Structure 1
Amino acid sequence: MKRFILTTLSAVLLATIIGIAIKHYGTGYVVFSFVDYTVESSFTFALGLLVIGFFVFYYLLRIISRLLNFPGYMGQRHTDRQAERSKNAIIKGLIEMSEGRFEQAEKIFIKQASLSDTSLLNYLLAARSAQQSEAYDRRDEYLRMAHESMPSADIAIGLTQAELQLNHKQFEQALATLNHLSSVSPRHGYVKKLQARVYQQLEDWEHLWPILEDVRRLKAVDEAQLEKMEIQASIGRLQKSIKNAQAEKNWQQLPKRLKSNAELITLYASYLCKQQKDDEAEELLRNYLSDRWRDELALLYSNLNASDCKKQLETAETWLHNQSRNPLLLLVLGKLCLNCQLWGKARSYFESSIGIKPMAESYLKLAILLEEKMDAPEDAQKMYQAGLLHAVNGETPPVLRSGLENVRPPLLKVIQ
């Protein structure tokens, strides 16, 4: 359209210029001579004839060009129609898959695979459809045909195969596929991510760990997910090393960022405690609890028999600054007082803990203390009964509740 308008404007401009020239200088004439023939014409007629001849010659050339290119034009139209049919077939197949009609989708993809230049895509989609229909033999056949149709697409086909094997819980087969892909493309992030998933499912923590280092370097997963995987792998490796008496070596090999993880600290501190290395466990737990709080780690801390029990108690009492109303910390302090043979102080801590939140262990520790160290069997009996009632029904006897409401932890005023 733009070309037509431009041509028209040019013709009008040219005609205007010629008209002005003719009006100013006259029409003039033109003489054509060829051998013995002479033709004389007015300039206007000759110019008009020349213009008409130009357009006739121009459009004649265009017609000849179209005729010469007609086979190619028809071939392109056929290709375009075939591409359109292929696109529509893929869309239809995807709709069938989305609606759960996997067998119909599979038939559409396979039929189209031999008719279009998108055979690779059709075979891969057919394999996914067959997987959903639990036709695993057909799935593997389609993957083989996909590879035959385009051998250069080894990564795409292999990843599809690995994903399908993973979904079918064929972990060993998926691992073999991914190991091959990793050898072909060692820096492929998605391959490493899938490898990590397989080792995770197989609980092969030793092989998972170096893969996670690759995943971190390639940024194949987000930081939060990677941290969870690293913690899981570290716990698995540490548990295995405990069985093989290699726990301390394994702990030393852990990255610093993971040595502050509560789950790993709990596992390693429990191991040290069982190995009667309470002082090492005490230092580990003390360093953690001084910066952040976890009830379960504090409870583990109270079960240690450190060589300097008074120092251990003093350390725990500093935590009252931020945890003054924490019943579990008060229970911990009571247990540490027992280790230091501070019976009266232990009793106060246990009673304070029960006054804030009754717990079966608090009742039990207090009852044993009253019975064995403070010669108060009747009070001990009440604590046994109260602890049993709480353990069964989660209740505290009204008499005990009223008596414990006003109990306060010892030394709180001094510390605060």
Structure 2
Amino acid sequence: MKILIGLVVALFSAVGLAWLVRQDAGYVLVTVGSWTIETSVAAALVIVILGFFVGYKLLRYTGRLLRMPRTLGELGRRRRERRASRLLATATKSLAEGRPAAAEAAFQKGLALSTHNQALYLVGAARAAHRQGAKDRRDRYLEQAAKLPRDTVAVVGIARAELLLEDDDAEQAAKVLHDVQILAPNQPRVLELQLDIASRLGDWEHALRLLPQLRKRKLLDDDGFRDAQLQVHRERLAACARQGKLADLQRLWGEVPKALRSDESLLIDYVGQLRELDAAEPAEALLKQAIGQHWSNALCVAYGQLARGDANAQLASAESWLAAQKDNPYLLLTLGRLAVRARKADKARGYLEQSLKLMPMGDTYQVLGELLEGANDASAAIACYRAGLHLLSGHETVKEGVALPAEKALSA
């Protein structure tokens, strides 16, 4: 395009110049010392134009010659950077393939060639040395990287923390990340590592504070955020229960978001903790409320495992569920357990045998075996235990409604 425009300009200039010469050729007289030059205006213009272009080209080529050393140096630097980039890719690939020695050598060669992103080469070499168990070399690389400009603080600090975590040194990793957060805040990877560290150290309060930040930065989707919340609250409750403080445990349960309190596994864990702290009444109330809102086999089984409180009242409550869950083997197992606690052996045996006919389960065999053993019916108890073991070990295939050998013996 530039050439075309230049040709058009030259054409119009030539036409204009020819027109001027035709109108009035004129002449130009130049006197320099004893020299006198006389020519036409057209010839003078041609000489001036040619002289301009020649001078312009001479100046350009002279400038290029003067810049030649710097240009050659820049070309050499670019070639070294391209080679360093290839070495970085090769080293990264070698490290991923499990060849740390080759990776470390490639990182070192790339570091010697590159003047940019040196932190990447040093951190990579540190990881490779760490994989080889050479902690001294690893630390030297990291120390060298720490002397680089401040904009590499996050890269180096995160790498150091990750390597410390691989050595199970969570406390030192936490200190490193604390310094990184001060010098280079708002690093997403730092938040992920802090959550890992909080989990390892059992600092569930800190973990709970980190979760909203991880979600805000889209490091956790909705399902991941819910799962992480459940895990953190479960661990908080368990840690408090181990301290044996009922009031604190109930307070922590109140801090659990309402949407999570309906999670069956979390509720069952909490109910079990209340039971261990001799708080059977609130545990029973929670289970009855949850079952009343939505039937759950898991919650029903947990109700039968309370092993605390008024067994007769609990049995009566569970029997009221039979109207809607008449042939539910889990409810029948729960009724059998509660009847055993209420010292109603005949009723317990009936519920348990009915449950086994509907769906044989290892727990049902165990409860029935214990009941029979307490009634001094050793042979039937042994048959139950044996059938339960066969079922749990997978030696026999069990289908609903199909009796195992123990059930046949009991029915006889």
What TM-score, normalized to structure 1?
A: 0.78
Q: CA RMSD in A?
A: 3.8
Q: Does 1:277 align with 2:276?
A: no
In 1, Cα distance between equivalents of 2:270 and 2:220? 28
Quick check: 1:93–1:109 contact (8 Å CA) kept in 2? yes
CA contact (8 A) 2:29 2:39 kept: no
Describe the SS at the equivalent of 1:29. Answer: coil
Partner of 1:177: 176
Q: What is the match of residue 64 of structure 1? A: 62
Corresponding residue number in structure 1 for 2:29: 33
The total of aligned residue pairs comes to 394
Which position in structure 2 is the counterpart of 1:354? 356
What is the CA distance between 1:389 and its match in structure 2? 4.3
Partner residue in 2 for 1:289: 291
Find the residue that maps to 2:27 and give its secondary structure: strand
Residue by residue over 1:45-95, the C-alpha shift from the partner in whole angstroms, topping out at 9 and shown as x without a partner, is: 444334323322322232233234334333322332332232233233334
* Worse-matched range after superposition: 70-79 or 205-214: 205-214
CA distance in 1, matches of 2:271, 2:62: 91
Q: In the alignment, what sits opposite 2:262?
A: 260
Question: Secondary structure at the residue paired with 1:30?
Answer: coil
Shift of 1:209: 3.7
2:111 to 80, 90, 113: 113
Match in the other structure for 2:388: 391
Deviates more, 1:7-16 or 1:41-50: 41-50
Matches within 5 A, 1:401-412: none
**CA deviation after TM superposition for structure 1 residue 117, in Å:** 1.1
Tell me which residue corresponds to 1:148: 147
Q: Which residue of 2 aligns with 1:197?
A: 196
Give the CA deviation at 1:137. Answer: 0.9
Q: CA separation in 2, counterparts of 1:93 and 1:361?
A: 56
Percent identical residues: 27
Residues 167/65 of structure 1: CA separation in 2 closer, same or farther (3 Å cut): same
The structural deviation recorded for 1:177 is 1.3
Distance in 1 (alpha carbons) for counterparts of 2:293 and 2:122: 57
Q: How far, CA to CA, are the matches of 1:326 and 1:101 in structure 2?
A: 58
User: How far off its partner does 1:121 sit?
Assistant: 2.3
After TM superposition, give the deviation of residue 122 of structure 1 in Å.
Answer: 1.7
2:360 counterpart letter in structure 1: P
Amino acid aligned to 1:117: T
Secondary structure of 1:33 counterpart: strand
Residue identity opposite 2:270 in structure 1: Y
| Structure 1 residue 3 displacement after superposition | 2.5
Q: Answer yes or no: is the 8 Å Cα contact 1:27–1:42 preserved in 2.
A: no
Structure 2 residue matching 1:175: 3-state secondary structure: helix
Contact 1:89–1:108 (Cα < 8 Å) also in 2: yes
Superposed CA deviations along residues 161-198 of structure 1, whole A, max 9, x for unmatched, are: 11111123232322221232234445433212202212
Cα pair 1:82 1:116 within 8 Å, conserved: yes
Could you say what secondary structure the match of 2:26 adopts? strand
Offset, 1:353: 1.3
2:356 counterpart letter in structure 1: I
CA distance in 2, matches of 1:354, 1:45: 120
| Partners of 1:334 and 1:346 within 8 A in 2 | yes
Gaps (5+ residues) in structure 1? 405-416
Residue 245 of structure 1 aligns with which residue? 244
Call closer, same or farther: CA 1:248–1:215 in 2, change over 3 Å: farther
Amino acid at match of 1:133: Q
CA 1:30–1:62: 2 relative to 1, 3 Å: farther
Structure 2: how far apart are the matches of 1:272 and 1:105? 55
Q: Could you tell me how far 1:158 is from its partner in structure 2?
A: 0.7
Q: Distance in 2 between matches of 1:83 and 1:368?
A: 77
Distance across 1 between alignment mates of 2:171 and 2:240: 24
Q: Distance in 2 between matches of 1:90 and 1:165?
A: 23
The answer as to whether partners of 1:109 and 1:126 remain within 8 angstroms in 2 is: yes
Confirm whether residue 49 of structure 1 aligns to residue 50 of structure 2. no
Query: Does structure 1 retain, via aligned residues, the 8 Å contact 2:330–2:355?
Result: yes
| Distance in 2 (alpha carbons) for counterparts of 1:179 and 1:38 | 86
> Paired residue for 1:221?
220
Q: Deviations over 1:112-160 (max 9, x none)?
A: 4344313322211111111121111100110001111334422221111
Worse-superposed segment, 159-168 or 114-123? 114-123
**Separation in 1, partners of 2:293, 2:184:** 44
- What secondary structure sits across from 2:133 in the alignment? coil
Deviates more, 1:230-239 or 1:206-215: 206-215
Native 8 Å contact 1:193 1:215 kept in 2: yes
Instruction: Judge conservation of contact 2:238–2:273 (CA < 8 Å) in 1.
Output: no
Indicate how the Cα distance of structure 1 residues 250 and 209 shifts in structure 2: closer, same or farther if over 3 A, else same. Answer: farther
2:405 & 2:84 partners in 1: Cα distance?
Answer: 80
Structure 1 pair 328/3, CA: closer, same or farther in 2 (3 Å)? Answer: same
The CA distance in 1 between the partners of 2:383 and 2:169, in whole Å, is 54
**Counterpart residue identity of residue 223, structure 2:** A
Out of 298, 301, 306, which is 1:299 matched to? 301
Residue 298 of structure 1 deviates from its aligned partner by 1.7
Cα distance in 1, alignment partners of residues 197 and 370 from structure 2: 51
CA distance in 2, matches of 1:166, 1:307: 50
Query: Which has the higher mean CA deviation after the structures are superposed, 155-164 or 215-224?
Result: 215-224
Kindly tell me: are residues 199 and 370 of structure 1, through their superposed partners in 2, closer, same or farther at Cα, counting changes over 3 Å? closer
| Structure 1 CA distance for aligned equivalents of residues 272 and 145 of structure 2 | 53
* Structure 2: gaps (5+ residues): 397-402
